[in-house]
Structure 1
Amino acid sequence: MSTWSSEGITLGYGDEGSGDPLVLVHGHPFDRTMWRPQVEHFSRAGWRVITPDLRGYGESTVAPGKTTLEAFARDIAGLLDHLGVDRFILGGLSMGGQIVMEFHRLFPGRIRGLLLADTFAAAETEEGRTWRYEMAERLLREGMAGYAEEVLPKMVAPHNIQALPAVAEHVLAMMSGTSPEGAAAALRGRAERPDYTDMLREIAVPTLVVVGSDDEFTPVEDARLIHDRVPDATLAIINEAAHMPNLERPAEFNAALGRFLDSLATPVAAGR
């Protein structure tokens, strides 16, 4: 594992392949291993794939209290500065997609292209804020195991839990293994997230919007809203997948992402 530290926070990260940089941001309550099929595929295809563990997740420092999307985005910017990566293609799924939107708000000039997967652009509702605060307290009281079992059939489509047991086990293990303190901090931060809807019209780089056809957390309608507002965005709906299409249907997800990446640049097998 590679690590980078700044101001008391250490981030674990993966950095594989060479060529144009592709940075992938995981969702909640996962870690960078959720991108394993994409790392394996695109690092072999001539891309440098960088996958951070967000603070509070995976092998990164647990940060109790509240972690805002801005804090996550600035962590990623610091890591990329450390790696000498100035401009890159940035993608994220679910909370990772919201971090991508926040990164664009803060550092639009660093981004060459965007991947927004199974995510939601609007601010949290009052009901949603209450739910996130209450869930944060529940995770601190009970731990992650019960929550992980409860939401697994929404993260991974029920038919895929049966047909793809290794995928279901991976998703369950990521959720169960996440620090309750880190997850709670992120929930509190997301409860107070800004509304990115108006900003979508200001995105001036190529953007790919991806969603699983059976996603209940961020359904196809949410993806269509993002697609319709981002100028010249591309929409890919991954059939027979729920909230984790990159794991449930990796071939289809990689094909959609690959077409998008090919439209931006031709990967080269050059040194870093």
Structure 2
Amino acid sequence: MVDPSRMPVVTMRDGRGLHVRVVGKGMPVLLLPGLGMSSMLWLPFVWPFAHRYRFILPDFRGFGRSSHLAIERDDVFESHAMDVRDVIAHLGLRDFLLGGISLGGTTALHMNHRAGLDGVRAYLHVEQSPCVGNRLGWRYGLFGERQDTCFDEFRVFAGLLGQYPEARELTDLPPSERARAAESLARIAAWTFGTPRLEAPLRRFFLLPTFLAGRFPLSLRDARTYIAAYLAGGHDYRSSLRNLAMPVTLMIGMKSTPYPYPGQMAIAESAPNVRVVRFERSGHLPLFEEPAKFVRELGRFLEHGSRASSRTTNGLP
């Protein structure tokens, strides 16, 4: 079994090294993290299965041990998708299981939309909408019906950062602007977790010296890039969902604020072979809110995926 502290470095097409954890032995399983998530957070959930599966856990640019890497392109989803394809090529993955949570799910759908998911035997999709921006006939993007209000807060935060283009961390902002940034971040985080009462304590937390010393999981440089990507309103992957020919496990937090249940169910309604797992007590993070159930359902995904015929994988040109 591979030591979980082992940190292979995969060289990307821009010559930079992306850190990837590799844990276990057996059939390869590539798991893509959410926004701000270190690959280390997968370890408690994958460890029970590490005797049968080899888990490949990349740290996306800007996070974890890849926090020093700048996002390569203005389109964050394209940048992450290119990196994932480099990881697949570097490790020679040809018959494997794929999973993604939140941003990782968007990245997987982006890859499928661009060129298919060749070599993927089964796919796990956790808490993500197939269309980020609301539009005519679709109100299930990021934050659902409240998207306009939340995106206005994004614009406030982006406008604040725009006044200090050289700032890289919260500590680089003047104290008054730092307080405004903390207020904006707290409001966005409270909406994300679906708990308005968190806004006041989060605002105080974001101003703690230890937090400002570098614990914010996103540099201001990358925050600008993500905000621009979300406000662009693109990234509609609904038309390519039917091409997910492999077995798909769709995990939904029934109390999710960022991505309403009906929007996520569009995946089940379009892809041909989907098993839906509902987490009745969870919001956007079912792996942390209902961990025992998540481990159990992850085990089911792994077992069913390992038995799936490789002929069902998606190999679009």
Quick one: higher RCO (CA 8 Å, sep 6+), 1 or 2? 1
CA displacement 1:73-118 (0-9 Å, x = unmatched): 1101111211222232111111211101012222422221111111
After TM superposition, give the deviation of residue 156 of structure 1 in Å: 4.8
Higher deviation after alignment, 209-218 or 53-62: 53-62
After TM superposition, give the deviation of residue 64 of structure 1 in Å: 7.5
The answer to whether residue 267 in structure 2 is matched with residue 226 in structure 1 is yes
Partner residue, 2:31:
24
Amino acid at match of 1:223: Q
Partner residue, 2:20:
13
Instruction: Give the counterpart of 1:176 among 194, 211, 216.
Output: 216
Looking at structure 1, the residues matched to 221 and 73 of structure 2 have their Cα atoms a distance apart, in angstroms, of 7
Partner residue, 1:100:
108
Alignment of structure 1 residues 41-190 onto 2, 5 Å = 41-44=48-51, 46-60=52-66, 61-63=69-71, 66-105=74-113, 106-125=115-134, 127=148, 132=154, 134-138=156-160, 143=170, 149-156=186-193, 176-190=216-230
Are the structure 2 counterparts of residues 37 and 154 from structure 1 closer, same or farther at C-alpha, using a change threshold of 3 Å? farther
Identity %: 25
Partner residue, 1:259:
300
Looking at structure 2, the residues matched to 137 and 30 of structure 1 have their Cα atoms a distance apart, in angstroms, of 25
Q: Could you list the runs of 5+ residues in structure 1 that have no partner in the other structure?
A: 162-172, 267-272
CA displacement 1:122-166 (0-9 Å, x = unmatched): 1423747766555445567683865654455455565xx9xxxxx
Looking at structure 2, the residues matched to 136 and 28 of structure 1 have their Cα atoms a distance apart, in angstroms, of 18
State TM-score, norm by structure 1.
0.80
CA displacement 1:45-96 (0-9 Å, x = unmatched): x111111111122221123772431221110111121122223211111121
Q: Could you list the runs of 5+ residues in structure 2 that have no partner in the other structure?
A: 1-6, 136-147, 171-180, 199-210, 308-317
Contact 1:64–1:185 (CA<8 Å) still a contact in 2?
Answer: no
Partner residue, 2:208:
none
Contact 1:66–1:184 (CA<8 Å) still a contact in 2?
Answer: no
State TM-score, norm by structure 2.
0.69
Partner residue, 1:199:
240
Contact 1:136–1:185 (CA<8 Å) still a contact in 2?
Answer: no
The answer to whether residue 244 in structure 2 is matched with residue 235 in structure 1 is no
Q: Which secondary structure state, in structure 2, belongs to the residue aligned with residue 59 of structure 1?
A: helix
Contact 2:25–2:50 (CA<8 Å) still a contact in 1?
Answer: yes
Contact 2:72–2:79 (CA<8 Å) still a contact in 1?
Answer: no
Higher deviation after alignment, 233-242 or 219-228: 219-228
User: What RMSD over aligned residues (CA atoms) do the two structures have, in Å?
Assistant: 3.0
Amino acid at match of 2:95: R
Amino acid at match of 1:100: A
Are the structure 2 counterparts of residues 133 and 73 from structure 1 closer, same or farther at C-alpha, using a change threshold of 3 Å? farther
The answer to whether residue 44 in structure 2 is matched with residue 37 in structure 1 is yes
Q: Which secondary structure state, in structure 2, belongs to the residue aligned with residue 265 of structure 1?
A: helix
Looking at structure 2, the residues matched to 245 and 152 of structure 1 have their Cα atoms a distance apart, in angstroms, of 17
Are the structure 2 counterparts of residues 148 and 112 from structure 1 closer, same or farther at C-alpha, using a change threshold of 3 Å? farther
Looking at structure 1, the residues matched to 26 and 92 of structure 2 have their Cα atoms a distance apart, in angstroms, of 13
Amino acid at match of 1:37: P
Looking at structure 2, the residues matched to 181 and 131 of structure 1 have their Cα atoms a distance apart, in angstroms, of 18
Contact 1:122–1:196 (CA<8 Å) still a contact in 2?
Answer: yes
Looking at structure 2, the residues matched to 209 and 138 of structure 1 have their Cα atoms a distance apart, in angstroms, of 37
Contact 2:121–2:246 (CA<8 Å) still a contact in 1?
Answer: yes
Are the structure 2 counterparts of residues 154 and 17 from structure 1 closer, same or farther at C-alpha, using a change threshold of 3 Å? farther
Contact 1:114–1:208 (CA<8 Å) still a contact in 2?
Answer: yes
Between Structure 1 and Structure 2, how many residues are aligned? 253
Are the structure 2 counterparts of residues 200 and 65 from structure 1 closer, same or farther at C-alpha, using a change threshold of 3 Å? closer
